Structure 1
């Protein structure tokens, strides 16, 4: 499905089903965050964190082969993110490696400090739970050391881990490996968030996620509207999560285009409030358990990647804040 057809396809879907008929469409006069605030007064204390893929511009996210690092300089992205209102910023391991060809971790930290960004997310680690003899685990260990060094230098809030590739392992082995990650992360002053997702055969529910992440004090679950919706986890189930076991929350939206889950996940996500997911219910449920940290917004979208960076950042901020 071509870039422009993502939203055309959604219109067709909504018209046929009658779902979400009140949601704003791209180009149809999305409510600005400041206007929504005057109407509701709901987001006086809300802080937003722009995840890597949302603020990276035209990239090719895994597992699509291609360039994962941003063509825009880190300083350019951070300056613009702070200007539109973001108070957090995310870095992907490949982008971090690219930046570090020219800048030290101390110089990277100084950029965040200069623009008042003090909520940093680092990602992504996979294969961390496989057997030590597995080459994929060995490659993951090298990446893990990079992320740990960066977490300490940048005072990162958390490192995101998960199972994007859908590798299989006993759940007890996953839990033991997660506890090890948290112990090592603690020595570098950061936390670990396990992102639950529908492609992970080892952790298929909130209860299983809690069992894997419940032991370490600096680790827990990372919720993403996209994955929660695709896994058909109910809003009621979300309210049963232990707040102390919730590391971070990410917002987005979408619809079922009929494409593969990988295609939809990496190319067809939508800004919060522009799809058919129950974003409002998701926010209310997470707030009900006491979540008050910055909210991430993670939108992997051909449409968003095609916008000028200024328009993409401003539109993302305004549309996300309008949901509160």
Structure 2
């Protein structure tokens, strides 16, 4: 019997996955859509590559949220499907996987689902494509294989069959005996996987993935209130089983644990901490580098001007609009060495080492940090230097508590001497967000730190596909978005070393900003053409608009609030710049585009 493997099961670029499958002796592959979208190869080139390797393309997957939806939504789905089928023809794939819908628009109507799947199969048949319908274990209305088969049988279309997946069947405890009642010719595809038994889930969760209060999603404070109202007056004791904590240093972990209890007691009214002082903006981002030329060339092409020089340290201030970047070329130090502003650089190349946060009360923010076991860092000050306090985040990033042009408060800007005759453009550019890659064993600690010490709100954690695995990301921000910091970590020790940090610059017109950058000699990250083919299938653009996005490598996303357009510079050392345009109150960070960006950066490296 022939063998096949889904490209999503393997790490690396699509080319690397195909080569690995062929070398292992597989006869064919399932092409996972994200792998194609992130590949610089055209569908025709992927088809030729598979042929050269002796691989057939047995399935293209997945197509989601198609059936049992309102007529206008289904019309959009057919438009999307037509584009997918055209891509499949270019690939030479003749079977597509359609997952049972998880869309909130889907209704519990088997007749409607069967009718719409039959119409989808009609369209597929015009392209020489078959549709394999699969029940996701978490499908909104269709979650078992026998239910999916009843819908396929009702539809009665020759180009519509079912896909059987061992995980989705066995994870729900379904009896596979009834598979024998399905005609063999209507089983269009079989996917096999194993997994721990369901009885192990909570046990594994308990023994390996517990976290300290405030780092997860449980309402620990609500529980504690009930306990206290019952009259409990004993100790608050932590019992946390966590593989990460067991591999990290005991000292920092104990500090993190104690901090979590201090915050928990604050939430329930036990004990008093200095109140949180929420930052109001980003004063500056500091890049440290052993070689200023690549950094200053990048900033210059982005329209920044070198406006000032530190009075006593090799640090230059670059400005554009409201965005400020410090470029530090001091003597090399260890990456996480404690230092004062301008105190040194890392030997491993350019990196984002410090952030200045605008604070309405820097002294109060420092008191809050110290009460939560985050001491103010020692700083070497020259005569006349501003008394600027900084604390160290768990990953070693220095966070300076700043006041810029604020009466009666020390101004860090006073440490710099203006360069004569140079003025920065005042055009609305600002620092939109700062993406900080975290060491794998500090991720949960970092979330709690930014929430508790800085008073930022934490959003839900998301997983982002990378060519070599998954990245976990969780953003912290102020309520008004004045400070946004996505925190990202790899899935295992060492994963963080491959991923650069970046500064996102907000601009009112990302297309104009990208053009100015390229005209000034800057290089934007190229994005595969497959991404734009898919974008055109998902959204409607004018030909000129889509051509502009292709030309400049601009990515596109939208949420319930608005639209997000963004593009990326090439990486310098371990830093790159993102240009972003938020319209209509868009809240996110373009996470849907992250797999394509990460793959493009991998290709560029």
1:107 aligns with 2:36: no
1:154 aligns with 2:95: no
Instruction: State the partner residue of 2:81.
Output: 144
Instruction: State the partner residue of 1:31.
Output: none
1:240-288 CA-to-partner distances (Å, cap 9, x unmatched) read 22112111011111122335xxxxxxxxxxxxxxxxxxxxxxxxxxxxx
3-state SS, counterpart of residue 191 of structure 2: strand
Shift of 1:171: 1.1
Match of 2:24 among 84, 90, 93: 84
Structure 1 residues 105 and 78: alpha-carbon distance in aligned structure 2, compared to 1, 3 A threshold: same
Larger helix proportion, structure 1 or 2? Answer: 1
1:48 aligns with 2:3: yes
Larger strand proportion, structure 1 or 2? Answer: 2
**Residues of 1 paired with 2:26 and 2:80: CA distance?**
27
1:258 aligns with 2:213: no
Which structure ranks higher in relative contact order (CA pairs < 8 Å, sequence separation ≥ 6)? 1
Shift of 1:204: 4.3
Name the TM-score, length of structure 2 as normaliser. Answer: 0.31
Instruction: State the partner residue of 1:231.
Output: 172
Structure 1 residues 80 and 205: alpha-carbon distance in aligned structure 2, compared to 1, 3 A threshold: closer
Question: How many pairs are equivalent?
Answer: 200
Structure 1 residues 253 and 150: alpha-carbon distance in aligned structure 2, compared to 1, 3 A threshold: same
Shift of 1:85: 1.0
Query: Structure 2 regions of 5+ residues with no counterpart?
Result: 203-468, 471-490, 494-605
1:172-194 CA-to-partner distances (Å, cap 9, x unmatched) read 11111111111111111121111
Counterparts of 1:295-306 in structure 2, within 5 Å, are none
Shift of 1:88: 1.5
More deviation, 234-243/197-206: 197-206
3-state SS, counterpart of residue 197 of structure 1: coil
1:116 aligns with 2:93: no
3-state SS, counterpart of residue 198 of structure 1: coil
1:178 aligns with 2:117: yes
Instruction: State the partner residue of 1:296.
Output: none
Rg larger in structure: 2
Name the TM-score, length of structure 1 as normaliser. Answer: 0.56
**Residues of 2 paired with 1:112 and 1:205: CA distance?**
33
Instruction: State the partner residue of 2:559.
Output: none
CA contact (8 A) 1:126 1:140 kept: no
**Residues of 2 paired with 1:230 and 1:76: CA distance?**
31
1:189 aligns with 2:189: no
Instruction: State the partner residue of 1:245.
Output: 186
Structure 1 residues 152 and 219: alpha-carbon distance in aligned structure 2, compared to 1, 3 A threshold: same
Match of 1:74 among 5, 9, 14: 14
Instruction: State the partner residue of 2:33.
Output: 93
**Residues of 1 paired with 2:168 and 2:128: CA distance?**
28
1:90-112 CA-to-partner distances (Å, cap 9, x unmatched) read 2222322222xx33222121111
CA contact (8 A) 2:14 2:36 kept: no
1:268-314 CA-to-partner distances (Å, cap 9, x unmatched) read xxxxxxxxxxxxxxxxxxxxxxxxxxxxxxxxx98xx879xxxxxxx
**Residues of 1 paired with 2:20 and 2:144: CA distance?**
37
**Residues of 1 paired with 2:61 and 2:201: CA distance?**
28
Instruction: State the partner residue of 1:267.
Output: none
Instruction: State the partner residue of 2:141.
Output: 202
CA contact (8 A) 1:125 1:161 kept: yes
3-state SS, counterpart of residue 202 of structure 1: coil
CA contact (8 A) 1:197 1:231 kept: no
Match of 2:160 among 191, 197, 219: 219
Query: Structure 1 regions of 5+ residues with no counterpart?
Result: 1-45, 58-71, 260-300, 308-324
**Residues of 2 paired with 1:177 and 1:103: CA distance?**
33
3-state SS, counterpart of residue 239 of structure 1: helix
**Residues of 1 paired with 2:52 and 2:182: CA distance?**
36
1:201-229 CA-to-partner distances (Å, cap 9, x unmatched) read 43344443223112111221111111111
3-state SS, counterpart of residue 87 of structure 2: helix
**Residues of 1 paired with 2:99 and 2:114: CA distance?**
12
3-state SS, counterpart of residue 258 of structure 1: helix
CA contact (8 A) 1:210 1:245 kept: no
